[in-house]
């Protein structure tokens, strides 16, 4: 399974944009990039996913490098509710399985 590397923690101020980086240098052409987050005392929550092109949804944007060896999750205006552990995950479409491999993630603190 391809591995991802994320910073252990990041801080942001409320209402400012946040860029959460993820390195995945061993990504293969069929790996999707997923982002999930886990708020305290809750199960993980889907944020966004993509394959090659940048993706936007109501929660965030996903910027994928041209060589796909890194990606960045962008929260456009951080709120206190965005304080969570953010996981960058790769999944291999060719293996016909729903297995998600979680790393240690990035703990995001949002300061008022």
Partner 1 sequence: KAGVTQTPRYLIKTRGQQVTLSCSPISGHRSVSWYQQTPGQGLQFLFEYFSETQRNKGNFPGRFSGRQFSNSRSEMNVSTLELGDSALYLCASSWGTALNTEAFFGQGTRLTVV
Extract the tokens encoding 99.
């297995």
Closer CB to partner 1, residue 42 or residue 53? 42
Q: With contact defined as beta carbons under 8 Å apart, do 22 and 70 qualify? A: yes
State the CB neighbour count (10 A cutoff) for residue 61: 17
Any contact of residue 97 with partner 1 (CB under 8 A)? yes
The answer to the question of residue 32 lying near partner 1 (CB under 8 A) is: yes
Separation between Cα atoms, residue 76 and residue 95, nearest integer Å? 34
35 lies in the site for partner 1, by CB under 8 A: no
Question: Which positions lie near partner 1, rule CB under 8 A?
Answer: 32, 34, 36, 42-46, 49, 51, 87, 91-93, 95-105
């Amino acid at each position: 399974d391809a591995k991802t590397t994320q910073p252990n923690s990041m801080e942001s101020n409320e209402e400012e944009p946040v860029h959460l980086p993820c390195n995945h240098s061993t990504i293969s052409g069929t790996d999707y990039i997923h982002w999930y987050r886990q708020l305290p005392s809750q199960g993980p929550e889907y944020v966004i996913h993509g394959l090659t092109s940048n993706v936007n949804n109501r929660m965030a944007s996903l910027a994928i490098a041209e060589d796909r060896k890194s990606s960045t999750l962008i929260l456009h205006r951080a709120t206190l509710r965005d304080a969570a552990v953010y996981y960058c995950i790769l999944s291999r479409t060719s293996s016909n399985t729903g297995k998600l491999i979680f790393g240690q993630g990035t703990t995001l603190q949002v300061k008022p």
